[in-house]
């Protein structure tokens, strides 16, 4: 498994940077390799990524997520196996240092990328720059999910998401 890591400093507070990162379905608006994201539920997302003529689709599970701190994920299934972590560290002057670390096996798009010296790093650096430009340009996050995930499960303690005034009922 090969690993790439990139860090970028962003001129927004850590909460803003983190909140924007939780809006995965927005990623195609500013990232060029991310073509589509569907959030199935808080811990599961479906991704279509592409580079040139290549297209790959995979599901990921968020394994751990702590607001304003970090988020780790892993791909589901064996074909495009990779895992990653993004950490958010406050920096003096209402700025945030964002570090993404990704590891991939030899197969799949990320595997191909990591097999080419420097390619994965260049893509990652470019996409982080896109993220920086987006959130700095807006100055505020387009949404937020402030839940906590541990071991792939959303944990209690966060306020329940706003719902209908109607309670649930058994479904036979």
Partner 1 sequence: MKKPPRDEPRDDLTVTPPKTWAAGVPAVVHALEYSLAQTSPKETAVDLLTMNQVDGIDCPGCAWADPAPGHRHRNEYCENGAKHINDEATTRRITADFFRAHSVSDLAGRSDLWLNQQGRLTEPMVKRPGSDHYEPISWRDALDLLAGELKALDSPDEAVFYTSGRVSNEAAFVLQLFARAYGTNNLPDCSNMCHESSGFALHETLGTGKGTVSLDDLHHADLIFLVGQNPGTNHPRQLSALEQAKRNGARIVAVNPLPEAGLLRFKNPQKASGVIGQGVRIADRFLHIRPGGDLALFQALNRLLLEAEDARPGTVLDHAFIRDCTSGFEEFAEHARQVSWDDVVATTGLTREEIERVRDEVLRSKRVIVCWAMGITQHKHGVPTIREIVNFLLLRGNLGRAGAGACPVRGHSNVQGDRTMGIWEQMPDSFLDALRDEFGFDPPRAHGLDSVNSIKAMREGRIKVFLGVAGNFVRAAPDSAVTEAAMRSCRLTAHVSTKLNGSHTVCGRTALILPTLGRTERDQQAGGEQFVTVENSMSEVHTSRGRLKPASPLLLSEVAILCRLARRTLGTGPGNVPWEEFEADYSAIRDRISRIVPGLHDFNRRVARPGGIRLPNPVNEGVYRTATKKAMFTRNTWRTPDVPGGHLLLQTLRSHDQWNTIPYTLNDRYRGIHGSRRVVMVNPEDLSALSLSEGDRVDVVGVWHDDTERRAEGFTVVPYPTARGSAAAYYPETQVLVPLDSVADISNQPTSKGILVRLERVTP
At residue 143, the 3 state secondary structure works out as coil
What is the token pair recorded at 115? 């097999």
The rounded distance, in Å, linking the Cα atoms of 90 and 98 is 9
Residue 153 engages partner 1 in binding (rule: CB under 8 A)? yes
The rounded distance, in Å, linking the Cα atoms of 52 and 42 is 30
CB 5 → partner 1: shortest distance, Å?
Answer: 25
Strand extents, DSSP E, 105-168: 148-150, 153-155
**Closest approach of partner 1 to the CB of residue 94, in Å:** 31
Tell me how far, at minimum, the Cβ of 50 lies from partner 1, in Å: 14
Q: Which is nearer to partner 1, 93 or 163 (CB)?
A: 163
Radius of gyration of the chain (CA): 17
- # residues near partner 1 by CB under 8 A: 33
What gap in Å lies between CA 137 and CA 131, rounded to an integer? 10
Pattern 43-82, partner 1, x by CB under 8 A: xx-x------------x-x--------------xxx----
Task: Tell whether residue 146 is a contact of partner 1 (CB under 8 A).
Answer: no
Residues that bind partner 1 (CB under 8 A): 38, 40-44, 46, 59, 61, 76-78, 147, 150-156, 158, 160-161, 163-172
């Amino acid at each position: 498994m090969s690993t790439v890591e990139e860090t970028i400093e962003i001129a927004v507070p850590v909460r803003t940077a983190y909140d924007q990162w939780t809006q995965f379905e927005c990623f195609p608006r500013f990232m060029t390799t991310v073509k589509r994201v569907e959030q199935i539920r808080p811990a599961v997302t479906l991704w279509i990524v592409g580079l040139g003529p290549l297209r790959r689709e995979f599901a990921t599970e968020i394994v751990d997520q702590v607001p304003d701190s970090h988020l780790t994920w892993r791909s589901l299934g064996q074909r495009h196996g990779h895992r990653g972590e993004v950490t958010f560290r406050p920096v003096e002057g209402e700025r945030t240092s964002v570090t993404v670390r990704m590891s991939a096996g030899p197969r799949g798009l990320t595997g191909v990328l990591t097999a080419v010296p420097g390619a994965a790093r260049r893509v990652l650096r470019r996409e982080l720059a896109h993220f920086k430009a987006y959130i700095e340009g807006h100055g505020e996050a387009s949404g937020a999910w402030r839940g906590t995930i541990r071991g792939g499960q959303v944990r209690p303690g966060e306020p329940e998401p706003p719902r209908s005034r109607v309670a649930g009922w058994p479904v036979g």
